[in-house]
Amino acid sequence: MANMNIDDCDFVFDFDVEYGNNLSNNKYIDYMESDVKETYNQIRQDFLSIAKSLNSIIQKEGYNYNLSILTHLDNLVCFYKREPYRNIHKYKRKLIIRALAIDYIDSNFLITLIKLLENMKEDKSMSKEEKNGNNSMYSRIFNILTRFAHLSNEFSKTLVVISDFIDFLLDQLEKYSLIITDSKKAKKIKLQKEVSSTMSLIYNIIRYDDCKSYFIDNTRFVDSIKSLLCMNVTSIQLMSIFSLAYVAREDKAELFHSNASIILYAVESLEKAISSRKTKCDDEWTAYELAKGIGRLAVNDSNKQLLVENGAVIPLYKLTLSEDDEEAYEACEALLNLAFDEEIKRDINQVKGLKENIKKLSKTDRPCHKPAQGLLWVLNQEYRDERNQNNQDTLRATRPMLKSIERGGECNNRSHIMISYEWSHQKIVLQIKDFLVRHGFKIWIDLINMQGSTLDAVACGIEQSSLVLLCYSENYKISPFCRMEAEYVVTKKKKFLPVRMDKSYKPDGWLGIIIGSRLYYDFSEINTPGHLKKFLKDINDILNQDHEPVKEEIASDVSKKNTHADNKIKENNTNNFNNQIVALSKEKLSFLKNLRREAPEYFYKKIENEFNLSNLNNLIDFMVAFNKL
């Protein structure tokens, strides 16, 4: 049997990292009803007891292989098969798993599992069957990791920050792919459970936006997936296709079209999952993860027709009828992604009862109301006209909020700059907003759900703008809501400036068409005053407004607009740049001043590294302090 050889793997776990900081399971516990909370507390108590007993065994006997450890590992997940857990509604089970996942992290038990894996790599006395067999410690640990990664973003994110753990998984996948490519069919079949175990964990991790960056543009991963697609095992093929959908860019479209049979299997599996309404067990797929995977496939424009030809629309519509919020959300968003294709839009409009149900969902307070509104907007010109008529009311309703987020107050005849962005980049976007406000610009930005519909508010923000900053990234391109904004900007023939938020991302697909070869401004890294000065100048040129000229030293200008900035520097214990500069010798200070004058680019690079200037605010604060000396 071709088993993975852990002895050949090199992975190091950095146990100095404090995993799980600032995690709280209260957001899950607070949603639990009393009976669910009672079940959770019972399972948690059992877990803590098992973990304590297992740690006691390890303290006495070390991390060596023994049956007692295996038994304890089995007991950790047996609650799946017990009463009263199995009688609880599946949505409520999710709350239990997600809360329990954080308990695993907080108790450091996850580290115990990883140490067990590490010891297996180093233990020369263990047989291959003990290390790698179907009933081995390895398979049990992976079973636990996969079950919790499946439903917990926090658990998955903790796994990817464990030093070299992802490389360890990719090593295994790469070895399997070599065997699959070079060996006979009999050997491939024997690899099935091992490949499935590793691929299941990777697939469950990769679905989360916080985790997928470890796999994007990873040649090792993509090449291994290509080999797995050759295996005649549909569950592995589907995991592979979905995993590619989460990380592959538009230039990998051929991989999906050459595996159309797997797309059909995904759609048929969704139909089956909706009909059976079973929870995930063994190789079965939940309706939620199938809809999410299909929706992610639909982001790629070249996949849209392939999905529709294989019958994706009807089961997605059926899933919008689900009472499960997550299922309904993913179904609505998948249909929204498909509807950007004009021909498919007509097909969706012809599905009896679909628009009526989507309209109902759009008026609820369920999470799916947002993609439902978006879908109606894309599908229906009449609906867009109706929403546009409401924009004046929305404008009046949002004025009090606009005052708090833009300089100059109301959205009146003097139009504003709108910032279109994806929420994962909100921190740097807010710094850009603050920077522009300090220089006299009126800014419209969606910080919260504004009064009235968010859709109305955003449409109003675009219509009333004189310029839109498209803060683009991989996540921006993937988001159907960002696509709606960007395409509406083009439809309304608004001026826009592309602003790059992700250094590694080159616009592709629909976003590549919109941005084209336009000059973009890069805010993915620290920006020098010279860069910011040009940014302001170009905005002024586009707007053709009379703003005060940008001063030679941006930081000095910021200092005048913020008279208390120096006090903030002195009060800030973590970024006390004033004290750091004062501590410099006269010779060093003189050197820096000369360096700034004679080699400004090197000066800013030097201070970035020397004083850990990780963002725009830090740079501004540093320059305020520097200019005062």
480 & 332 share domain: no
Q: Tokens 């020098």, residue?
A: 528
The whole-number average pLDDT for the span 202-224 is 88
Domain membership flag for residue 525 = no
Domain membership flag for residue 530 = no
43 & 141 share domain: yes
pLDDT at 175 > cutoff 80: yes
pLDDT value, residue 602: 58
128 & 184 share domain: no
Number of domains in the chain: 5
pLDDT value, residue 352: 94
Query: Per the omega criterion (within 30 degrees of 0), is the bond before 400 cis?
Result: no
Domain membership flag for residue 522 = no
pLDDT value, residue 104: 86
Residue that finishes a domain, picked among 163, 190, 208: 163
pLDDT value, residue 609: 67
CA atoms within 13 A of residue 228's CA, in its CB half-sphere: 35
pTM summary value = 0.75
d(CA 605, CA 61): 53
pLDDT value, residue 546: 43
pLDDT value, residue 587: 66
Domain membership flag for residue 225 = yes
User: What is the domain range of residue 314?
Assistant: 267-379
Condensed to tens digits (0 to 9), the pLDDT of residues 344-372 reads 999 999 999 999 999 999 999 999 999 99
pLDDT at 240 > cutoff 50: yes
pLDDT at 92 > cutoff 80: yes
pLDDT value, residue 316: 98
374 & 400 share domain: no
DSSP string, 87-131: GS-HHHHHHHHHHHHHHHHHTTHHHHHHHHHHHHHH-TTS-HHHH
Element (H, E) at 276: helix 260-276
230 & 272 share domain: no
500 & 591 share domain: no
12 & 156 share domain: yes
The whole-number average pLDDT for the span 416-427 is 92
Residue 572 gets the label, from left (phi > 0), alpha (psi -120 to 50) or beta, of beta
Residue percentage of the chain with pLDDT more than 70: 72
Domain membership flag for residue 389 = no
243 & 158 share domain: no
Condensed to tens digits (0 to 9), the pLDDT of residues 531-559 reads 788 889 889 888 875 443 333 333 333 33
- Number of Cβ within 10 Å of residue 63's Cβ equals 18
pLDDT value, residue 17: 41
In which band, very low, low, confident or very high, does the pLDDT at 387 lie, cut at 50, 70 and 90?
low
pLDDT at 514 > cutoff 70: yes
Condensed to tens digits (0 to 9), the pLDDT of residues 261-311 reads 999 999 999 999 998 865 444 347 899 999 999 999 999 998 999 999 999
87 & 101 share domain: yes
- In this structure, the dihedral spanned by the alpha carbons of residues 285, 288, 293 and 297, taken in order and rounded to 10 degrees, is 130
Q: What's the mean per-residue pLDDT of the chain?
A: 78
Domain membership flag for residue 537 = no
In which band, very low, low, confident or very high, does the pLDDT at 118 lie, cut at 50, 70 and 90?
confident
pLDDT at 519 > cutoff 80: yes
Residue that finishes a domain, picked among 248, 283, 303: 248
